[in-house]
Amino acid sequence: KNINFEDNTLINYKKAINKVTKINNNKIKIFENNFSDFLSLDNKILPNFSWAATNELARLTYIITRIVKPKIIIETGVGPGMTSWSILQAMSENNKGQLYSIDLPTPNTKNMPEVGYLIPDSLKDRWNLLIGSSKKLLPSLLREISEIDIFIHDSRHSFSNQMYEYETSWPNIKNQGLLISDDISNDAFINFSKNNDRNAILIKQNKNFPIGIIKK
C-alpha cells in the first residue's frame, strides 16, 4: 500500500534530532556547521545521482552520529556512499565507532564505478563493507556483532524487504538505540512502529517520500 503524506504530518530533520536526542537547537546548529565545513573542504561540487542520499538524510545521519557517539552502526544500501561518508566523518570526529555496510554489487558504470566510491580513503579504517543481499548477510552479521546502536535501511524499498530488515535488526538494537529508514513509501515502517508500540517520526526531504526514525 502506498501512503500519501501531507506536508503537515512531516517535520524537518533538526526537529527530529531534537526529539530523539533531546539536544537543543544551538548544539545541533554547531554540528550542522561542521557538516558544511567538512563537505566543502575538497568536495565543493558533488555528483548528483538518483542513488545518492539527500542532503537531509546525510545531515541527519552525520549529526545524530556526532551526538550519540555510537559504537556500531549497520546500514543496508550504500550506492555512491554519501550517507556512509557522513557517518564515517562523524565517527572520525568522535574518534569512536565502526560502520558495517551491506550492498549488492554495483552496475560498474561510469556513474557508479564501485560501491561507496565517494568515501575518502582516509575514512575507510572504520568502514566494513559486505557485498551481497541483506537477506543473506544481515542475520550472520548480527549474530557476530550482537548489539548495535543504530540500524539504517536504505536498500530495496519494498514492503517485504523493509519489514524483513526492520524485524531482523530490531532485537539487536540496544535500548535507546535508533532505527532509521529512508523512503517511507508504503505501510511497512508505520506498521512496524505500531507493532512495537513506538511513535514513528517522519522527516521531510527533497524527494517524494520521507525518512522515518524510531527510538527503541
* Predicted pLDDT of residue 48: 47
Residue 4, pLDDT > 80, answer no
- Which cell is 3 given? 501512503
Q: Which residue has the cell 550506492?
A: 79
Q: Which residue has the cell 563537505?
A: 39
- Which cell is 64 given? 545524530
Give the list of residues 6+ apart from residue 130 with CB closer than 8 angstroms, or none.
100, 101, 102, 103, 137, 141
% of the chain at pLDDT higher than 90: 72
Count the alpha carbons within 13 Å of 23 in the hemisphere toward its beta carbon.
19
Please write the tens of the pLDDT for every residue from 96-155. Answer: 999 999 999 887 776 677 888 888 899 999 999 999 999 999 999 999 998 999 999 999
Please write the tens of the pLDDT for every residue from 20-56. Answer: 999 999 999 999 888 876 665 555 445 544 456 788 9
Helix (H, G, I), strand (E, B) or coil at 115: coil
Q: Which residue has the cell 545518492?
A: 52
| C-alpha span between 158 and 165 (Å, rounded) | 11
pTM: 0.91
Residue 79, pLDDT > 70, answer yes
> Left, alpha or beta for 209 (phi > 0: left; psi -120 to 50: alpha)?
beta
CB 58 within 8 A of CB 86: yes
Q: How far apart are the first and last CA of the chain?
A: 25
